[in-house]
Structure 1
Amino acid sequence: MKYLFVICFLFQFYSILGNAQSYKYHTVKKGETVFSISQAYDIEEEDIYKYNPDAKEGIGVNEKLVIPLDATISGTENAATNDKANQFVEHKVKKKETLYSLSKTYNVEIDQIKRYNKQLYAKELQIGEIIRIPQGVPSTSSDRNDLAQNTSNPTSLQKPQESQISKTREHIVLPKETKYGIARKYGMTVKELEAANPRVETLQPGMMIKVGVDVLEDEPVIITDDRFRFYEVKPQETLFSLTRRFGVSMDSLRQLNPALKDGLKFGMVLKVPENPEGADLDDESLAGMSEDSNMKMDLSESITNRSTKNIALMLPYHLQKIEEDSLDTYRNSIMNERVVRISLDFYSGVLMALDKAKSYGISTNLKVYDTKQTASEVANIINTNNFNEVDAVIGPLLQETAEAAASRLQNTNVPVINPLSNRKMKGHQNLFQSIPGDEYMKEAMLDYISRNSQGKNVIIIADGRSFQVKNELMNIIPSARPVNPTDNYISDEMLAGVMTEGENWVILESGNINLVSSATSALNRMAREHDITLFTTNKTNAFENDIVSNNHLGNLKFHYPSVDKEYESSLTEDFNKEYLDRFNVEPNRYAVRGYDLTLDVLLRLASAEDLYESFEKYPGYTEYNESKFHYVPSTGGGFINDAIYILKLDKDLTKSVVNDL
């Protein structure tokens, strides 16, 4: 379920301000005008223009306006107080004079001139017009940066920072606001905020500063509480590394930080979960937490709960066909039923895992149910059977049926572990997704590239559909050199100008067969004279096409993310021999997956009171024949496995794991 973390604030009884002025944001609706908005809030139009100067040029739907509450008080009494506190010079406007030239002449903000000459919000200066210029008003805006430098000691002049924010608006600093909170609210980095306001060192309530125009939330202030804190993104950090650092899923980080829809950027301010005790953690402590996540756990050495485990296995077998036809007919028909074949292979792996668990002293009561590949049958199974004593449900295979099972069993909090689907699922609190989604795969690869690309000449080849990952790569590695394909084609000449004598890392992002084929062929030819390593964040079907040579990929030391390390029988001879003896055939990937997943569930149940407690007691990852598991909380509830392999294809076409997690 989508949610927004919005924390409101109160100004009443705030001791810093005598007559505390409060503000809110108003989102302009269709048909609204400045006049109608002023009437709705019982304020003057000029009060709106005062805090929203651009509104004089017109307002648009969904635009955010600063609305001063109690403006009738602040607009009269406060103005009178300010008039007494400030001295004024009356100036008669001469030909060619502008607000900018007057601001430099009198060393005062343009906004301050407008403040005491409200007609200037609506029109330009008029020759012969007499205006009041306030004196003694401190300069706080970036508009006055040049003026402030002209009046300072010439020996201490500094070159002003240039803001990356091209369009700005004004923001009134409110009590308890921080630079982190304001920067996050407007989708800026702290450095961009400081660059837009170079003379502002310390924020004070009531101060007007310049900010970006992208307001992320309706409320003007985001204040941390015991559950959350602000964090500034460091160079070469990735979304994947941040999920490990703060123990959350990528979906959760995106829900907390809507600006992440445009990608992660260095200097961005994120709202992140605080540690359970609510105390700040230093980098060393956080690094230790990250190391815990990267630690391999052997749960067979931590068995404490030896009660019999009750496991329900839900898979689609379509057993009703045995009743309709003969057993021989069913045996022949399943050869054409891919889902049934997968289920049977997976089931064989489950049986092998039960035997292995028994050798550890773990007894299992397994009940097998035929889901018939429908959500209605899943509901019928749960309604007509007692699941109160079930420790975990393994399956169903498909997204719809897995969600149906989790939804029905959510009240009793029975864990439902989906074994094979990588589709994003609804966030039921008891749903465990054991296959990482494509987004997790991409982020794991980005993290690997970020951590290991220093000193490398990075080249990016991406088609039009891969612009987002290309932008993310450029954010992580600003020095990377993009090469744009022409009509989904890459030639040797296009690559020659970006190659160097050192290590060349080429990142190829495309699902187009022609582009992948031409790029890998050209790179293979250039690899005779250059050191080239090929990467992708998404090994699409184009890389598997017969047109693309595996020998070329091997020569290029092809790196890609994978859920499993593509089971090799030679690596697990004991398991392979036992399976062959029992089923008279070598295990395929689904049989191995059934074994790995089931054994992991049983060992987790045997090393803790329940599945949920096992994640708290053992923060590291578990690994078996070809799969590893490291579950993190998912958006809205439940857990997702984010343990991913980075594989390298060697020249002899063997695969090796190159990352630690």
Structure 2
Amino acid sequence: MKHIIVLFLFFQLFAVSAFGQQYKYHIVKRGETTAEIARMYNVTEETIFRYNPDARKGISPNTKLVVPLSGERLTDREIRFREHRVQRKETLFSLSQQYNVSIDDIKRFNKHLYSEELRRGERIRIPLNLPKEEQEPRRETSGVNPLDLTVKEHVVLPQETLYGISRKYNITIADLQRLNPNMDTLQPGMVLKVRNGNVEKVIKVEGDLFKYYQVQPQETLFSLTRRFGISRDSLLTLNPALADGLKSGMVLKIPNKEDLEYDSYSEESIVNLENRIMNYDTKNLVVMLPFHLNKIVKTDTSDNTSERIRKDRVLQISLDFYSGVLMAIDSAKAKGISTRLKVYDTQQNAGKVHTILNTNDFSNVDAVIGPLVESTAQAAASGLERQGIPVVSPFSKNGGGSLDNFLQARPSDEILSQTMISYISENADGKNLVIIADASSSAKKQQLMGAFPSARIVNPKEGSYIDQEELTAALVEGRPNWVILEANKIGVISNATSYLNSLADKYKITLFTTDRNNSFESDNISNRHLSKLNFHYPSVDKVYSPEANRAFIKKYSQKYGVVPNRYAVRGFDITYDVLLRLASSGDLYSSLKEEGTTQYVENKFDYDAGSTGGFANKAIYIMAYDKDLNLKVVQ
């Protein structure tokens, strides 16, 4: 079911279907204006802007505009504005009361106020005669006047989400679902029952990293920093209006430490880019994934589509990854970062990638995420290298050769191995080292012998048999025995772990590998044996903690009906990292050079410039089993 939902969201990028209200795409012709287009469809120009906010900055030929086909009428008068110069102590709420307009309407005609505070002395536009049907639902944010708690109607706009609607009315998604028990998948034009939520002293925003606090009489900045465990500088950064002084009744933005989406800042070396956001320009992001939509025809039923998805592993991964991308865009939006997303189906074909690049305008693109397959990712990077557009490869194990714009988000196997060897070397004092390597791992064996010349060697017999007496002779009683197992054969791994487990009560044994390949996943390998041996291995990602990441898991589960898998989490982590890097620097390349290690739900990122070109992520985890079969991060 989740894959069907994600596929539906993907199709929404190309066609807007309606329920109760019909929409269509209008392709702008050369010389057309928004006023002319509005008259053509018998709607107001403000309606065009409401459905296409970027059109306010101007439209260009071949731009697609979403236009409602019915239900809205052209007003007889144009909207008039008053230019207002902001005075000391004025707030959006006081201006909304003074001019009898909603706060959302003020923001709608002054876009910077979606992410910035009012500044004394600035000039803003106040709409004076908005037609009733053009006004946004009023949402008062002050506790001075009683709130309107009556049930009202909300018309779903294109690309709106339950999360966005719940934020607009300050109610939870669960409240929305209770008000609309027959609601299934959101579609543009649906009419939902909504009501404004209660304003309390502290409002916990559903699924967000912040809460809002209304300042009480006699409170000071010092008392607030002590109350919420936040520095004075951080409080001022989050609430620029404090520069004019703290006032009773102000609503402040406070970090919601109890509801973090990911356990991202537990290490001192981790950089929190959310505290460094300074570029609020809309980010232009392209995602390239092999959806193989050419194989899913319009006549397919839901059952046929589900069967196709079940049989196509690449499509499953693409849809999971894409679901994480959408979650990241929602999370970035909550931080004031808007994203203009374009998605292309690469069909797992380099030729298709070249066609996409040659038939679309990439001149304003900030970053490309994907494609998944290494050959197509390199094709995309090669085609965009001259324009300097960074291409982030989510799963490639190898770099892009000499391509300067290729970002390898997955650390290479060589980096994984070297990091594990360095970890062992740094902690090897007083340890008895033993190396077990099968025939397929002879090169790794030589590398380990070079790094640990005093290590004892145990060679498997007849391909996979380990002599227990030889293994026992290599162990030392009374000292920690660190055994490094390098093998691709299931028989060697099973044989070695079984023998070591039987000896673990007498000898203190810890098991390591530089390559936890698929053979370690075999049903013939006992996880209880690995747990008893405190098995250590290098990993691209960690297993996320349901407790530490409960907000992210809850939000994802509400949207898709299941908990996220590792592909969905990787889609979130990579996309959120890219968006935060773009928002904290002038461009992605500057962030790669200036910022340190970032960390999210399961993945962390620290890019180094490659010797021949491009950038490679070198940040990995050292994972270990504990005695209760739990995986822990040890480095």
Q: Deviations over 1:295-327 (max 9, x none)?
A: 211111111111110000111112223336424
Equivalent position SS for 1:546? coil
Q: Deviations over 1:248-300 (max 9, x none)?
A: xxxxxxxxxxxxxxxxxxxxxxxxxxxxxxxxxxxxxxxxxxxxx98211111
Distance 1:627 1:327 in 2: 37
> Residues 373 and 419 (structure 1 numbering): CA distance in 2 closer, same or farther, change over 3 Å?
same
Query: How do residues 456-467 of structure 1 correspond to structure 2 at under 5 angstroms?
Result: 456-467=431-442
1:303 is matched with 277
Query: How do residues 377-388 of structure 1 correspond to structure 2 at under 5 angstroms?
Result: 377-388=352-363
**1:510 aligned to 2:487?**
yes
**1:376 aligned to 2:351?**
yes
Equivalent pair of 1:446/1:537 in contact (CA under 8 Å)? yes
Distance 1:515 1:322 in 2: 44
Alpha-carbon deviation of 1:518?
Answer: 1.1
Alpha-carbon deviation of 1:405?
Answer: 0.5
1:530 is matched with 507
Distance 1:412 1:524 in 2: 56
> Residues 392 and 613 (structure 1 numbering): CA distance in 2 closer, same or farther, change over 3 Å?
same
Equivalent pair of 2:400/2:614 in contact (CA under 8 Å)? no
1:651 is matched with 627
Distance 2:339 2:512 in 1: 43
| 2:406 aligned residue (428, 431, 437) | 431
**1:420 aligned to 2:395?**
yes
Distance 1:432 1:357 in 2: 21
Query: How do residues 312-331 of structure 1 correspond to structure 2 at under 5 angstroms?
Result: 312-323=286-297, 325-328=299-302, 329-331=304-306
Alpha-carbon deviation of 1:424?
Answer: 4.5
Equivalent position SS for 1:305? coil
Distance 1:424 1:617 in 2: 21
Task: Tell me which amino acid in the other structure corresponds to 1:628.
Answer: K
Equivalent position SS for 1:341? helix
2:314 is matched with 339
**1:625 aligned to 2:601?**
yes
> Residues 547 and 498 (structure 1 numbering): CA distance in 2 closer, same or farther, change over 3 Å?
same
Query: How do residues 606-625 of structure 1 correspond to structure 2 at under 5 angstroms?
Result: 606-618=583-595, 620-625=596-601
Alpha-carbon deviation of 1:423?
Answer: 3.7
Alpha-carbon deviation of 1:347?
Answer: 0.8
Alpha-carbon deviation of 1:425?
Answer: 3.6
1:182 is matched with none
Task: Tell me which amino acid in the other structure corresponds to 1:312.
Answer: V
Query: How do residues 472-551 of structure 1 correspond to structure 2 at under 5 angstroms?
Result: 472-487=447-462, 488-500=464-476, 501-551=478-528
**1:639 aligned to 2:615?**
yes
Alpha-carbon deviation of 1:522?
Answer: 0.8
Alpha-carbon deviation of 1:357?
Answer: 0.5
Equivalent position SS for 2:296? helix
TM-score normalised by length of structure 2: 0.56
Query: How do residues 109-188 of structure 1 correspond to structure 2 at under 5 angstroms?
Result: none
Task: Tell me which amino acid in the other structure corresponds to 2:433.
Answer: V
Equivalent position SS for 2:547? helix
Equivalent position SS for 1:393? strand
Equivalent position SS for 2:368? strand
Percent pairwise identity: 51
Equivalent position SS for 2:392? strand
Distance 1:316 1:364 in 2: 22
Alpha-carbon deviation of 1:485?
Answer: 1.9
Distance 1:633 1:305 in 2: 24
Q: Deviations over 1:606-656 (max 9, x none)?
A: 0111111012221x2100000000111124211111111110011211100
Equivalent position SS for 1:571? coil
> Residues 577 and 294 (structure 1 numbering): CA distance in 2 closer, same or farther, change over 3 Å?
closer
Distance 1:437 1:294 in 2: 25
Task: Tell me which amino acid in the other structure corresponds to 2:282.
Answer: T
Distance 1:341 1:543 in 2: 24
Q: CA RMSD in A?
A: 1.5
Distance 1:424 1:610 in 2: 21
Equivalent pair of 1:567/1:589 in contact (CA under 8 Å)? no
Equivalent pair of 1:491/1:519 in contact (CA under 8 Å)? no
Distance 2:331 2:511 in 1: 39
Q: Deviations over 1:315-352 (max 9, x none)?
A: 11122233364242233211111111111111111111
TM-score normalised by length of structure 1: 0.54
**Larger Rg belongs to:** 1
Distance 2:398 2:313 in 1: 19
**1:597 aligned to 2:571?**
no
Task: Tell me which amino acid in the other structure corresponds to 1:462.
Answer: A
Moved more, 574-583 or 458-467: 458-467
Query: How do residues 83-122 of structure 1 correspond to structure 2 at under 5 angstroms?
Result: none
Task: Tell me which amino acid in the other structure corresponds to 2:284.
Answer: N
Alpha-carbon deviation of 1:525?
Answer: 0.7
What are structure 2's unaligned runs of at least 5 residues?
Answer: 1-266
Distance 1:379 1:540 in 2: 34
Equivalent position SS for 1:560? strand
Alpha-carbon deviation of 1:377?
Answer: 1.0
Alpha-carbon deviation of 1:528?
Answer: 1.0
Distance 2:587 2:609 in 1: 16
Equivalent position SS for 1:417? strand
Distance 2:446 2:606 in 1: 28
**1:446 aligned to 2:421?**
yes
Alpha-carbon deviation of 1:478?
Answer: 2.0
Query: How do residues 198-213 of structure 1 correspond to structure 2 at under 5 angstroms?
Result: none
Task: Tell me which amino acid in the other structure corresponds to 1:560.
Answer: Y
Distance 2:502 2:527 in 1: 14
2:339 is matched with 364
Alpha-carbon deviation of 1:510?
Answer: 0.8
Distance 1:482 1:571 in 2: 41
Q: Deviations over 1:227-265 (max 9, x none)?
A: xxxxxxxxxxxxxxxxxxxxxxxxxxxxxxxxxxxxxxx
> Residues 381 and 633 (structure 1 numbering): CA distance in 2 closer, same or farther, change over 3 Å?
same
Query: How do residues 244-283 of structure 1 correspond to structure 2 at under 5 angstroms?
Result: none
Equivalent position SS for 2:344? strand
> Residues 338 and 528 (structure 1 numbering): CA distance in 2 closer, same or farther, change over 3 Å?
same
What are structure 1's unaligned runs of at least 5 residues?
Answer: 1-292
**1:406 aligned to 2:381?**
yes
Q: Deviations over 1:187-220 (max 9, x none)?
A: xxxxxxxxxxxxxxxxxxxxxxxxxxxxxxxxxx
Equivalent pair of 2:541/2:620 in contact (CA under 8 Å)? yes
**1:470 aligned to 2:463?**
no
1:48 is matched with none
| 1:560 aligned residue (524, 537, 542) | 537
Say how many residue pairs are matched.
366
Task: Tell me which amino acid in the other structure corresponds to 2:479.
Answer: G
1:118 is matched with none
Alpha-carbon deviation of 1:386?
Answer: 0.6
Q: Deviations over 1:136-157 (max 9, x none)?
A: xxxxxxxxxxxxxxxxxxxxxx
Task: Tell me which amino acid in the other structure corresponds to 1:652.
Answer: D
Equivalent pair of 2:433/2:455 in contact (CA under 8 Å)? yes
Equivalent pair of 2:437/2:459 in contact (CA under 8 Å)? yes
Equivalent position SS for 2:589? helix
